[in-house]
Amino acid sequence: KITLFWFRRDLRLEDNVGLYYAFSQERNVLPLFIFDTEILNKLEDKCDARVGFIHAQLQRLNQELAAFGSTLLVKLGSPLSVYERLMKEYDIQCVYTNRDYEPYARERDKAVGELLKSRQIPFYDFKDQVIFEQNEILTDSGQHYKVYTPYSRNWKAKLQSTKLTPLHLDANRKGFYQTKPFAIPSLMDIGFEPSPIQIPPIEINKPLIRQYDKTRNYPATAGTTRLGIHLRFGTISIRKLVSEATSLNETYLNELIWREFYMMILYHNPEVVTQSFKKAYDAIPWRNNEAEFTAWCNGKTGYPIVDAGMRELNATGYMHNRVRMITASFLTKHLLIDWRWGEAYFAKKLLDFELASNNGGWQWAAGTGTDAQPYFRIFNPSSQQEKFDKDGAYIKKWVPEWGSESYPKPIVDHKFARARALETYKGAL
Ligand code: FAD
């Protein structure tokens, strides 16, 4: 009999809660990863760097498992069909995994859990992706929070009494299924190709985090940790990162709390995937001009800080947070294009794409989200540039033709666009 440990967005052996318990409590644990065709088939870009990243991590895991005399089993298909096949191939005693909170993942896990249950196979899931789950931080009256600041206060208080001791696999225990390594399908086998985009290293840069509150807002400098993709796919442990953050920099810790706040919001309000968090804002008559949207996507709006951000995103799969706020505000307020268009574009391009944070970030920028700030906060791209890229170093890097004849004229006048946005929002609410 074997026990399956199902990897999803927790691609590491170290300090992996579900894996640790499977390994310590069961025998013959066979780690599994499913390339889910329900997800892969929706990706338009067959060179998607995130798929290449996952693939590289699976190879690394397979090597690390070989040191335990074991292997990783990699399958391609819809999870239900893969489990149907696995139940024929193996005598499965139980399945362990870590919880995943996105709407699709919850449905998937419910269906897989039911299938396994129908064959008397228990399905055990653990908290691994966050410090506190959706129902762990509640108001005094037992409600989930709708505003970040009191949530984060409560989150920090609860952290005081929470142990974050890392979980190591004991090399002397033969917890894993003992076998020669299985071959992992190639990227080509699953219908993808390598991407030229570079992935930032998994590294906790302590000096950087210590300075984070001072450096985080300047896109020309390497002032943020670039760990987004590693948090997305679990190649770093959130417990380890939070343990470091608590002693290094409070502003940095606050950002990690934003991540959990948005996950909690998405969990309790799954409708925000398609609707505004503040429902009334769905009455805004977006202009949705396609030519203007294309200019924004391609970094050709004539607003250099906006264009630099979009070009950085297109070239690297990354955009600095300050510039994400500026570009998102520009799309929704200056161009009056539906935040869902921008959200979908970021979702395609960002290496660190996270449904909860992306949706939260876009709704924040559009003024439709959880933020207490009123909609009439409209970023002025020129003063943002003046404040956060004073000498133009970031802009020059991404928009070398800035200032020359070939650089486009502004797609819309700032004053005019600001007044139009205010009028449109006011009229709709
Ligand atoms: P650091 O500044 O070093 O922060 C460390 C980690 O904290 C990040 O990796 C991330 O996991 C978390 N974090 C930081 N800021 C935020 C935030 N405001 N909200 C939630 N988590 C945060 N973040 C994503 O992880 N995925 C997204 O798809 C995403 N889309 C965004 C869209 C918009 C319009 C905006 C305004 C923000 C978005 N963010 C998103 C939040 C933030 O911009 C990124 O997390 C950050 O820029 C990633 O860079 P970093 O890893 O260097 O982060």
- The reported pLDDT for the residue numbered 372 is 73
CA of 288 to the centre of ligand 1 (A): 26
CATH superfamily of this structure's domain 273-428: DNA Cyclobutane Dipyrimidine Photolyase, subunit A, domain 3 (1.10.579.10)
Known binding residues for FAD are: 212, 252, 255-262
Per-residue model confidence (pLDDT) at position 376? 79
Give the Cα separation of 17 and 21 in Å (integer): 6
ipTM above 0.90, yes or no: yes
Decide: 370 in ligand 1 pocket, CB within 6 A. no
Q: How far apart are CA 213 and CA 268, in angstroms?
A: 30
Reduced 3-state DSSP string for the chain: CEEEEEECCCCCCCCCHHHHHHHHHCCCEEEEEEEEHHHHCCCCCCCCHHHHHHHHHHHHHHHHHHCCCCCCEEEEECHHHHHHHHHHHCCEEEEEEECCCCHHHHHHHHHHHHHHHHCCCCEEEECCCCCCCCCCCECCCCCECCCHHHHHHHHHHHHHCCCCCCCCCCCCCCCECCCCCCCCCCCHHHCCCCCCCCCCCCCCCHHHHHHHHHHCCCCCCCCCCCCHHHHHHCCCCHHHHHHHHHHHCHHHHHHHHHHHHHHHHHHHCHHHHCCCCCHHHHHCCCCCCHHHHHHHHCCCCCCHHHHHHHHHHHHHCCCCHHHHHHHHHHHHHHCCCCHHHHHHHHHHHCCCCCHHHHHHHHHHHHCCCCCCCCCCCCCCHHHHHHHHCCCCHHHHHHCCCCCCCCCCCCCCCHHHHHHHHHHHHHHHC
Average pLDDT for residues 397-414, to the nearest whole number?
A: 97
Q: Is the CB of 231 under 6 A from ligand 1?
A: yes
Q: State in Å: Cα 226 to ligand 1 middle.
A: 9
Question: Does residue 354 line the site of ligand 1, with CB under 6 A?
Answer: yes
The sign one gets for the Cα dihedral 257, 233, 217, 302 is negative
**pLDDT per residue over 345-401, tens digit each?**
999 999 999 999 999 999 999 999 998 777 778 999 999 999 999 999 999 999 999
pLDDT digit string, tens, across residues 154-190: 999 999 999 999 999 998 888 999 999 999 999 999 9
Does ligand 1 come within 6 angstroms of the Cβ of 328? yes
4 falls in which pLDDT band (50, 70, 90)?
Answer: very high
Do domains 1-129 and 273-428 share one topology? The answer is no
Q: 65 C-alpha to center of ligand 1: Å?
A: 31
> Nearest Cα to 264, choosing from 128, 133, 142?
133
Q: Does pLDDT of 132 surpass 80? A: yes
95 CB neighbour count, 10 Å cutoff: 23
Pocket test for ligand 1, best of 212, 237, 350, 352 (most atoms within 8 A of CB): 352
Residue 16 above 90 pLDDT?
Answer: yes
- Which top CATH class is 1-129? alpha beta
By the 10 Å C-beta count (0-12 exposed, 13-18 middle, 19+ buried), 225 is classed as buried
| Closest by CA position to 399, among listed 413, 384, 389 | 389
Mutate to test the pocket of ligand 1, among 357, 368, 377, 394 (most ligand atoms within 8 A of CB): 357
Residue ranges per domain, the chain?
1-129, 130-165+204-268, 273-428
Give the residue numbers marked as catalytic: 255, 258, 286, 321, 339, 362
With 0.90 as the threshold, say if the pTM is over it. yes
Q: pLDDT tens digits for 259-312?
A: 999 999 999 999 999 999 999 999 999 999 999 999 999 999 999 999 999 999
Confidence bin at 139 (pLDDT 50/70/90): very high
Q: How far apart are CA 142 and CA 135, in angstroms?
A: 9
Tokens of 307: 């264009």
Per-residue pLDDT at 102: 96
Q: What is the mean pLDDT of residues 11-21?
A: 98
Q: Which of 233, 255, 373 to mutate to test the pocket of ligand 1 (most atoms within 8 A of CB)?
A: 255
Residue 116 has pLDDT above 80, yes or no: yes
pLDDT at site 172: 87
Q: What pLDDT does residue 61 have? A: 98
pLDDT digits (tens, 9 = 90+) for 183-234: 999 999 999 999 999 999 999 999 999 999 999 999 999 999 999 999 999 9
Q: Does the C-beta of 350 come closer than 6 Å to ligand 1?
A: yes
User: Where do we find the tokens 């499913």?
Assistant: 34
Distance (Å, whole) CA 25 – CA 194: 38
The confidence score (pLDDT) of residue 402 equals: 97
The CATH T-level fold of domain 130-165+204-268 is: 1.25.40
Mean pLDDT in the chain?
Answer: 97
When pLDDT is averaged across residues 252-261 and rounded to a whole number, the result is: 98
CA 342 to ligand 1 centroid distance, Å: 16
pLDDT of 397: 98
429 pLDDT band, cuts 50/70/90, is confident
Is the CB of 236 inside a 6 Å radius of any atom of ligand 1?
Answer: no
Query: What pLDDT is recorded for position 211?
Result: 97
Q: How many CB atoms lie within 10 A of CB 126?
A: 17
